[in-house]
Amino acid sequence: MKTPRFKICLCGILSALLVIFSGWISYSEQSGVIETYKNATAPFDDEKNVDSVLTLTDKTVLVKERYPGGHFWTETRKEKIERFKCSQCHDNKNVTIVRAAEMAHGNITLNHGGQIKPLSCFTCHNKDERDFLVTEAGETVDMDHSYQMCGQCHFRQKKDWVGGAHGKRLSYWAGKRVVKNCASCHDPHSPLFEKRWPKTYSPPY
């Protein structure tokens, strides 16, 4: 025979479960946890799900690398290159100007790659199509997607860049995430940052 104490405990447990269940139903009916779950697992649609509250960079390009958060964008590069298109000069015609190469590219210092395998111009620039870059495998790369070429050597940095741990963000952590591309921060010809003193420091006491 069951004791009154057991009945009291059983009634208390059932009452608590009823309260929890009714609260769950109420929350769910008010677009609660079920709706939240649906939104969290729904396919990403940047036009539908993101309300822009920031002024986004106009000149962006969809990055061709996917990451678990969906798509993200990077700023374009071509309009920032002073003498683009390169084919305006590199058109396979005879150059009649004396010291033309020095005049056009004399300000470039190539300090990229190690002593064993230093890079040359044509390590990255396509010999035949000067408006494009080229990978080690000979694949043509658009200037706006230079991360594809950089990432073949700097693959760890590229992985961090895709995931959001490397590179300056221009807008959003989710939604239309826009980040600077590699050459926005690093001079592609001399990418290593020079050592410098910090702008602020702790005063002595």
pLDDT of residue 50: 47
pTM above 0.75, yes or no: no
The mean pLDDT of 54-83, rounded to a whole number, is 81
Q: What is the DSSP letter of 53?
A: -
Whether the predicted pLDDT of 156 surpasses 90: yes
Both tokens of residue 80? 């920032």
The mean-pLDDT minimum among 7-16, 27-36, 164-173 falls in 27-36
Which of 103, 138, 144, 100 has the alpha carbon at shortest distance from 122?
A: 138
Q: b/e for 177-194, b at 16 or more Cβ within 10 A?
A: bbbbbbbeebebbeeeee
Which pLDDT score is estimated for 51?
47
Phi, psi dihedral angles at 120 (to 5 degrees): -120, 175
